[in-house]
Amino acid sequence: MKLPILLPFLFVANISLGQHWTEKKNENFNFIDNPKGQDLGYAPTSGIKILTVDGLAFKDLNKNGRLDKYEDWRLIVDERAKDLASKMSIEQIAGLMLYSGHQSIPARPRGFGGGTYNGKTLAESGALASDISDQQKTFLTGDNLRHVLITTVESPEIAARWNNNVQALVEGLGLGIPVNTSSDPRHNAVASTEYNAGSGGKISMWPEALGLAATFDPELVEKFGAIAATEYRALGITTALSPQIDLGTEPRWNRIGGTFGEDPALAADMARAYIDGFQTSSGTSEIKDGWGYNSVNAMVKHWPSGGPEEGGRDAHFAYGKFAVYPGNNFNTHLIPFLKGAFSLTGKTKMASAVMPYYTISYDQDKKYNENVGNAFSRYIITDLLRQKYGYDGVVCTDWRVTAEEGKTPDVFAGKSWGLESLSDAERHYKVIMAGVDQFGGNNAMGPVLEAYQMGVKEHGEIFMRKRLEESAVRLIKNIMRVGLFENPYLDPMASKNTVGKAEYMTSGYEAQLKSLVLLKNKNQVLPLQKNQKIYIPKRVVPAGKDWFGNVTPERIEYPVNMDIVKKYFIVVDDPAQADVAMVFVKSPDGGVGYSHEDREKGGNGYVPISLQYGTYKASTAREKSIASGDPVIDPSITNRSYKDKETTASNATDLKSILETRKSMNDKPVIVIISGNRPMVFNEFEREVDGILYGFGVMDQAVIEVVSGNEPSGLLPVQMPANMETVEQQQEDVPHDMKVYIDSEGNSYDFAYGLNWKGVIVDKRTSRYKRKIPKS
């Protein structure tokens, strides 16, 4: 098996039993070329030795001087994993069941992703950016943690060197189990970045998931997966915490942008393509059954879907802990998993890992009658996922489900929904007994060991040892399949030349172009002619808070990279001098569904989430919420209804900008460019404008290229509601159940609708996925 990266080394031949393996040395790592077998990489500083058996080389990871089954790359992964699990102590298994909190490379001086080096910040310590932080050393050596989630990296070279340092450290510890590094999606486009054909970048940039869905092109999504996996492996990342295949059936949910939309068939096809792209290795990179050195484990999320959040409120917070099923449509939400993630076309067959969502799938457990977060539910994990649907891959909780919740429902903290009154260790025990293998965001093995002892007391040591070994085997298999036990090391220069290479940047940019959806083109105002005079108003970016409570002040700025615009058009500051106006806006930010101020004034704290800019009064909302309750922080609230309350989008100034531009342009064309992340209401402004282009996380340049002539081909992956009344009337768990908006040209903004320069798009994609063609 040939490694993807070969370096110039000093060659040393080792002759044994008529065969030989070749060792290539440099100052830090050694690489071994095994004829007719897997190549090896190891760090001499780790203290391990190379064993020669039948003329082939093997790593003596546990330093016992003999070849153990788990060290023998000739054996099947299942046999190797079971052998290793049987040799592990309970402390080692407990560490393997941990998945770290978010790690920045290098560690930031403070806050999210923060860390120290010899007790000091990176700048104060004199350490290298690729060095291992104090906190990382602690959880790797003291807590036996072997799964690390990384966020920002300084550069591909730094990421590769950090990977090598970490792998060398753990290779010399205990049984020599490598680190499995993971990442949340990291290929989103930076809007202001300029694309230049033939030039590379920091990493290839693609539309967000809802934009990929808007292409209605599974082959494109599989190509994305393959490219992203190649870049991930060059960064040392071997598990992707993606794709997010929740059905986006609740239009107010703020995570729809990360899904493949509301249609079960489209979401299943996109999920299958995405995972096949990420997990599949071929040719000399393949080890066995499609797995190999180009493979990245896909941790598909979120079982059994986090889409049907009551009122659109998200479960990262206590105010959004409930997923509800008023349409009795639970099984529909399983389709992207059962017909997509678990039914791959490629040789790896199914996604190697699953993440349940934070939500309580309200009243869906008819066996044990528990309303607890999905990761705590034996019914959701064991009875359904494992037994009914036969899934035996890794199940990992979402991050910090065992931690304490915040003091109020709007505080970002732990997410122990349904088990708020239990202790940390008791929640760990509940997770283990539900059938889950791993704890996301937990760096310390102590609570896992406490949970183990609870199980020993209830079921006996033999039972609990077997239970933990089941999880260990699953976790080890995912590390072995991608070749980390044989070679976890990277060439930093090869990483630099791989991540963001020109051809990958081009593929991502072309996908962005294909994802843009043209909704309106009155009198064929588009495409615009080059060097037309364009007026673009500045945009008010409203003040706000991120998930962690950090405040961002209001600012006024151009909403687009004006240097890019000026390469296509003549920009003027006076609307009177312009031929056309382009107004760049964001889709309405109608809040999160909870108001601390409302609670302080004696209300229940729950308010509407709006998909329109202007003030909305929820006069048709439910009188009584489907679900409610928090036994710790808000036990008195038994009804989460927000009926007759009002809310206004924080970016209502976007509507003002559209209408003021319309007035200042008189009868001249006004084009609205929307950067969207979920459905929205158009009746506030659509009839006042001539063109509408909708994008899901794309570069400014892609927008300008379509406006100036690159023919649009994107289709809506979600319905656009006629008004907020239909949003209130739709059921959170049912797709395609809203009255859709019909514009001044008679076009319905329904699922799979979009325009090209000729009119409404009718092609193989619409025939495959669309129930009927909207009026043109």
Quick: pLDDT tens for 223-248.
999 999 999 999 999 999 999 999 99
| Measured distance CA(445)–CA(438) in Å, rounded | 11
Q: Per the structure block, which two tokens stand in for 631?
A: 């036994």
Pairing status of strand 533-535 against strand 580-586 = parallel
What secondary structure does DSSP assign to 194-240, as a single string? PP-TT---SS--B--HHHHHHTT-HHHHHHHHHHHHHHHHHTTEEEE
pLDDT mean over 450-463: 98
Which is higher by pLDDT, 484 or 192?
484
pLDDT of residue 632: 82
With cut-offs at 50, 70 and 90, classify the pLDDT of residue 776: very low
pLDDT of residue 213: 98
| Measured distance CA(380)–CA(323) in Å, rounded | 13
Does residue 12 register a pLDDT over 50?
Answer: no
Percent of the chain with pLDDT over 90: 90
∠ CA 582-587-593, nearest 5°, is 160
With cut-offs at 50, 70 and 90, classify the pLDDT of residue 547: low
With cut-offs at 50, 70 and 90, classify the pLDDT of residue 775: very low
Does residue 773 register a pLDDT over 70?
Answer: no
Find out whether 546 and 316 touch, Cβ atoms under 8 Å: no
- DSSP symbol at 688: G
Residue 432, number of CB atoms within 10 A of its CB: 21
pLDDT of residue 729: 98
Q: Per the structure block, which two tokens stand in for 727?
A: 């949003």
| Measured distance CA(703)–CA(512) in Å, rounded | 9
pLDDT digits (tens, 9 = 90+) for 141-153: 999 999 999 999 9
Does residue 14 register a pLDDT over 80?
Answer: no
pLDDT digits (tens, 9 = 90+) for 267-298: 999 999 999 999 999 999 999 999 999 999 99
For residue 385, with 0-12 CB atoms within 10 Å meaning exposed, 13-18 middle and 19 or more buried, which class applies?
buried
The average confidence (pLDDT) of the chain is 94
Find out whether 245 and 341 touch, Cβ atoms under 8 Å: yes
Half-sphere exposure of 485 (CA within 13 A, CB side): 29
pLDDT digits (tens, 9 = 90+) for 612-636: 999 999 999 999 999 998 888 788 8
Least confident of 103-112, 176-185, 380-389: 103-112
| Measured distance CA(631)–CA(675) in Å, rounded | 39
pLDDT mean over 160-178: 98
What secondary structure does DSSP assign to 57-86, as a single string? EEEETT-SSS--GGG-TTS-HHHHHHHHHH
Find out whether 593 and 606 touch, Cβ atoms under 8 Å: yes
Helix, strand, coil shares of the chain as percentages rounded to 5? Answer: 30, 20, 50
Residue 453 identity (one-letter amino acid)? Q
Find out whether 721 and 740 touch, Cβ atoms under 8 Å: yes
pLDDT mean over 507-532: 97
pLDDT of residue 771: 58
> Torsion angle of alpha carbons 754, 759, 765, 766, nearest 10°?
80
Does residue 9 register a pLDDT over 70?
Answer: no
| Measured distance CA(275)–CA(279) in Å, rounded | 6
Find out whether 41 and 489 touch, Cβ atoms under 8 Å: yes
| Measured distance CA(392)–CA(249) in Å, rounded | 28
Name the 3-class secondary structure at 417.
coil
pLDDT of residue 117: 97
Pairing status of strand 49-53 against strand 360-361 = unpaired
pLDDT mean over 476-505: 97
Name the 3-class secondary structure at 586.
strand
Pairing status of strand 147-153 against strand 180-183 = parallel
pLDDT of residue 544: 78
